[in-house]
Structure 1
């Protein structure tokens, strides 16, 4: 039995994208405890106390602020049409949507495009690097982690001079994001054999899709091309 356990311990990492899996799992467990103790209960209280139309307006308002940074990154990625359409979204929602509380632009078929500096780095050829789980922040890659300071600098919420307003908006954004995942994360934890692996694979797949605007390059399978 001891030899069998030693053999299992010496098996190399099952996923080359996650060379720091042991550390990542520990941080994942810490984040899970933090979520169960503080963030999830706060998000549930947010849903129970704040009426749905108000939550929707808050979500739209925060999204309108986020569109500004998306527009900047679309421009950095030389996506002319996306840059112009996102600018139009901001103008329409700001002036016709009561400062962004109403999402008038989507009804006008100006679809939302989420872009960040991690995607911009990916567009210019920077590889994602190893998968990493950050305390509080959650799943990331080395590339996305290095992009965090730039994303924070470009975040309009962080530009508020009044600390109380800035902190209130930041906390509200966390509640808005977490409340939208209440049922999803519960299902993952209940159904997935290994929630850590499920979250990791889902995150990496989504980020690749984000970088390539939903059309990641196909991986050529040489085994299928072999002729008998």
Structure 2
């Protein structure tokens, strides 16, 4: 699935990166040594998406008023700011960590539990970070590309980073199991809705497109937008 790849305004960034880097010196064998397994898992995820997630997202988008749909997205983004605050702190980005904490406080109170984003209009921009990025800032390489069942595109580093990120997820702390599972499902559907238009930019081999977009996007995030463009010698 594409949820982790192209969510929340990353489409333009990914396309810009792909156009700006005409040739990547790293071969597919180096970045994707487990391509056989990954393609099989990608196919499995695609079937789950085709028969379950995409129809659910389309139905949800059709029946939900825009204001309610935006409120749900704001709610989950507010929860994500908790994870971002911790990871910004771990990366030594004190100002960004304070911004994330302030966003949570403002949106959770004046924003009615986060359903209304009042922090962004007053200049408190989202500083999204996760533990995979933190490991990258600490010097850990991404490792081979890895497609996880249901989670979608990842890497060894980002897969490891999922574990501490899950411990920071307030949804996981909900004791009432039906409520917790409902929140997980709603968040997944909300994320999938945001890709209904974004997926139209995909062309050619879908697996390769998603893999390259994911890896370039993650490099961009770990380096805070400072990505080194590598050219093949044959281009000169």
Q: CA RMSD in A?
A: 1.7
Aligned to 1:200: 211
Aligned to 1:60: 74
Higher relative contact order (CA 8 A, sep 6+): 2
TM superposition score normalised by structure 1: 0.87
> What's the secondary structure of 1:40's corresponding residue?
helix
**CA distance in 2 between partners of 1:47 and 1:219 (Å):** 38
Aligned to 2:22: none
| 1:220 Cα deviation from its structure 2 partner | 5.9
Aligned to 1:23: 37
Identify unmatched segments of 5+ residues in structure 2: 1-26
Q: Is 1:171 matched up with 2:185?
A: yes
| Structure 1 residues 220 and 33: alpha-carbon distance in aligned structure 2, compared to 1, 3 A threshold | closer
**CA distance in 1 between partners of 2:196 and 2:221 (Å):** 23
> What's the secondary structure of 1:101's corresponding residue?
coil
**CA distance in 2 between partners of 1:14 and 1:56 (Å):** 38
Q: Does the Cα contact within 8 Å between 2:38 and 2:146 map onto a contact in 1?
A: yes
Q: Is 1:104 matched up with 2:151?
A: no
Identify unmatched segments of 5+ residues in structure 1: 1-12
**CA distance in 1 between partners of 2:218 and 2:232 (Å):** 25
Q: Does the Cα contact within 8 Å between 2:54 and 2:192 map onto a contact in 1?
A: yes
Q: Across the two proteins, how many residue pairs are aligned to each other?
A: 209
| 1:222 Cα deviation from its structure 2 partner | 8.7
Aligned to 2:63: 49
Q: Is 1:182 matched up with 2:193?
A: no
Q: Is 1:34 matched up with 2:48?
A: yes
Q: Does the Cα contact within 8 Å between 2:171 and 2:180 map onto a contact in 1?
A: yes
Aligned to 1:210: 221
